[in-house]
Amino acid sequence: MLPIRRLSSVSRNVLRVGLIPADGIGREVIPAARLAIEAVGSSIPKPEFIDLDAGFEYFQKHGKALPDATLQKLKNECDCALFGAVSSPSTKVAGYSSPIVALRKAMDLYANIRPVVGVSSSNKPKVDLVVVRENTECLYVKQEKLETDQDGKQVAKATRVITEHASRRIGQMAFKIAEERPRKHLTIIHKSNVLSITDGLFRESVRAVAGQWPNVTVAEQLVDSAVYKLFREPQVFDVMVAPNLYGDIISDAAAALVGSLGVVPSVNAGDNFVIGEPVHGSAPDIAGQQKANPVAAIRSAAMMLRHLGYGEAAERIDRAVDAVLVEGNVLTPDLGGNATTNEVTEAILKLI
């Protein structure tokens, strides 16, 4: 994928990278991504790494999941960042809110871009798609409330926000990505047959910017049938653009087509900043056991560099990762191997 922004035109002697391992296996895979960045040498400005705090474990100790100091350093001292994983609880915890969701909003990282690519020769049909997920609204605005009805029963309500501004903006990002790919095809994911107002606005707003990219063909797919088609005919998709919740679900589903969440990267991108983030979660069941797959984090580092305009460095990392996966001798347990996190990292570093 070509860079979305070419910020390498900014003269830099140093590339300042914020590192936010956060929770669980984030503390194992982000160091691997750091080593990959260091391994590309003179292909990028000299990297300097700034260690930053965030996460549920930090919240448990300090009462805040995203400290102000982290946000200020990202804004004032960093050119880009890598985020590991967060152990957000599935039940309500007073005072807690996901730090990565807060980061996306605070830094206006409105696009979550997730390429899903199969590299194994045995992977059929061929999977090569990109999910472009709106990152700032939908149900993730976290406007929920619990009420009691006239019978004394609890009623939970959530507000879903879809705006023309955010939908047009993510549409423009998706069209730009599609324009840079060989197939030049974009599928709008929605459920406007049921949610005619919110999803209807998303669909119409994305279509409204289509005229700027006449070479891109546009299709639509209802979100439920899109998931079905992902598993039956993944090759029909090129670039998919979706509201926040749908994008989260379909990108995780697509990861199953290429073996594991452990190989799928992403970036959270805005107009002025980018954060690389592996798609997988914190995996507390394997944390600290050297079972975590570092590939998604290393690929996320490559995406971050490519987004900044350092395409050669990104290609070196991607080629090394692909070679290790295709060879298949050094794989973590999620891909059917028995190699450790460090062993996979070392195998990739040797090829960079």
| Residues with active-site annotation | 140, 191, 224, 248, 252
Residue 152: Cβ within 10 Å count: 6
**336, 330 Cβ separation under 8 angstroms:** no
| CB neighbour list of residue 232: distance below 8 Å, 6 or more residues apart | none
Q: Check if the beta carbon of residue 146 is closer than 8 Å to that of residue 349.
A: no
- Written as six digits, the tokens of 330 are 């050094």
Q: What are phi and psi of 267, to 5 degrees?
A: -130, 145
> Which of the 8 DSSP states describes residue 162?
-
CA angle 299/142/151 to nearest 5° reads 140
Please answer whether residues 157 and 224 qualify as being in contact, where contact means their C-beta atoms are separated by less than 8 angstroms: no
Instruction: Report strand pairing: 111-117 vs 267-269.
Output: antiparallel
Helix, strand, coil % in the chain, rounded to nearest 5? 45, 20, 35
Q: Which DSSP state fits 215?
A: T
Query: Contact at 8 Å (CB) between 334 and 260?
Result: yes
Residue 276, phi then psi, degrees to nearest 5: -80, 140
**Phi/psi at 90 (5° precision):** -85, -10
CA 60 to chain centre: 25
Half-sphere exposure of 185 (CA within 13 A, CB side): 12
Among 244, 166, 238, 273, residue whose Cα is nearest residue 209: 166
Show the CA angle centred on residue 270, arms to residues 266 and 276, nearest 5°.
Answer: 25
Q: Which two tokens stand for residue 237?
A: 């998709």
Find out whether 304 and 18 touch, Cβ atoms under 8 Å. no
